[in-house]
Amino acid sequence: MPKRAAIFIDRDGTLIDDVGYIKKISEVRFYPFTIEALSLLQPHFCFFIITNQSGIGKGLTTEDEVSVVNQYIVETLKKEGINIEEVYSCPHKSEDDCACKKPKTQFIEKANEQHDIDLNKSFIIGDHPSDVQCGINAGIFPIYLLTGHGTMHQHEIDAETVVCPNILEASKYIITKHNLV
């Protein structure tokens, strides 16, 4: 079976509005362009969500709360014909110096081992400099978004990094870049 290209997607500020440490599904607000963006890419890529959820380590949310929210996101997207292969969630604070918090690449490596990913044709999309650095560290193409925390941290992004206003524009960029129309 040939390797598959993947899109590694940040959660808060990329797929859904970043409203802080989400504890309940009632706090989840998808961006109006999320479904269209993922629908454009679904025929060509498999999807993984990689999310840093330091609220768990800080005692502001629980692993169960984050798991319920993640499952709700996956199920909501599935109803729209979007398949998320896996959700990888880091529960640690930055000072824990864990192996899984972006910009470290443990979750990309795990996805590659379990799903045989073609990293040379894969992307990571997110609104934090750690998303971009994670992609660089893993050898996949990063795209930085201006949604969520994007505009606040844009000055921290290298000038060569592709910057898009939102995930829909990032999806269009990927489709164009790979002539997938």
- The residues that are catalytic are 10, 12
Q: Which residues make beta-bridge pairs with 164?
A: 145
Residues 6+ apart with CB under 8 A from 112: 119
Identity of residue 149: H
Q: Quote the CA–CA distance of 181 and 24 in Å, as a whole number.
A: 38
Cα-based distances in Å from 80 to 24, 76, 84, 159? 21, 7, 11, 35
> Is residue 169 left, alpha or beta, with left meaning phi > 0 and alpha meaning psi from -120 to 50?
alpha
The single-letter DSSP state of residue 125 is E
